[in-house]
Chain A
Amino acid sequence: MAAFEYRQAAEVRDAFARHGVRYLFLGKSGAILLGFPDTTQDADLFVQRSQDNGRALVIALRELGFDLTEEQAAEVEHGKDFVQLKNGPFDLDLVFAPDGIERFEEAWERRLEVEGFPVCHLDDIIASKAATNRVKDRESLPRLRAFREYWMAKQRKRQ
């Protein structure tokens, strides 16, 4: 399986937009979209949990080439907290209840857009990583917090 690239990210963006899926890039993949220079292996999507959104998500995933059984589709549609997909053209983690973020709607209000990609605000990405408290997240947090300061200063200069 190839690494996730711009083309695949654009396919996700376009398929999800066609079907009206509400989601946000989260985690390091989200930070990278915002300009954070680092490496990652996975794309994490924070998906709004609702029946309509779940149904649209399953249609979009199948259109992208994810091979979901009926049982798996039902789990995705109902929004299990965490779903790991490695049965498609690239790997995707679907996160319906990330650590450190209370509600999707709040994260949606704070979202940022980069070339049409909806991305969690850096504060939410950092909050989520801090709450997770994993070794790998602890290691990346100081650099991510430094990037947040750099990025905020740049935004202020633009205003």
Chain B
Amino acid sequence: MRSGKSPPREWLAEFEAAAQRPLEMRLRYAFIRTHKPVLDDAPYRSFDTTADYRRWCEENLPDWLGYGCV
């Protein structure tokens, strides 16, 4: 949101609608499962530093997943 601008009306309507839903329903709508190439292809990964993880994402994941830095 740009500073000083009101958020779009449809966002506010969505926030209000979500506030009426019980948590269980909100979670059901929110968590989706799709296969993410490379990222989902190993059962376990660990990184000594968060910077290492970011670098690994940059170097190994397809751009369209959105894990690359701006």
Interface residues in chain A, defined as those with a beta carbon under 8 Å from any beta carbon in chain B: 1-6, 9, 29, 32-33, 35-41, 43, 67-68, 72, 75-76, 80-87, 91, 95, 97-99, 114-115, 132-136, 138-139, 142-143, 145-147, 149-151, 154
Contact = CB atoms under 8 A, between A and B. Distances in A.
B18 A37 contact: yes
Contacts, number: 139
A5 B1 CA distance: 29
Interface of B: 1-2, 7-8, 11-12, 14-15, 17-19, 23-24, 26-34, 36, 39-40, 42-50, 52-54, 57, 63, 65-70
A136 B65 contact: yes
Contacts of A86: 40, 42-44
30 contacts: A1-B33, A4-B31, A5-B27, A5-B31, A35-B26, A37-B30, A41-B33, A75-B46, A81-B47, A81-B53, A82-B49, A83-B46, A84-B44, A86-B43, A97-B50, A98-B50, A99-B50, A132-B54, A133-B69, A134-B68, A135-B67, A136-B67, A139-B66, A143-B11, A145-B1, A146-B8, A146-B11, A146-B15, A150-B7, A154-B19
Contacts of B15: 35-37, 146-147, 150-151
Contact of B48 (A81, A146, A147): A81
B19 to A, nearest CB: 6
Given A3-B31, A3-B33, A138 B11 contact: no
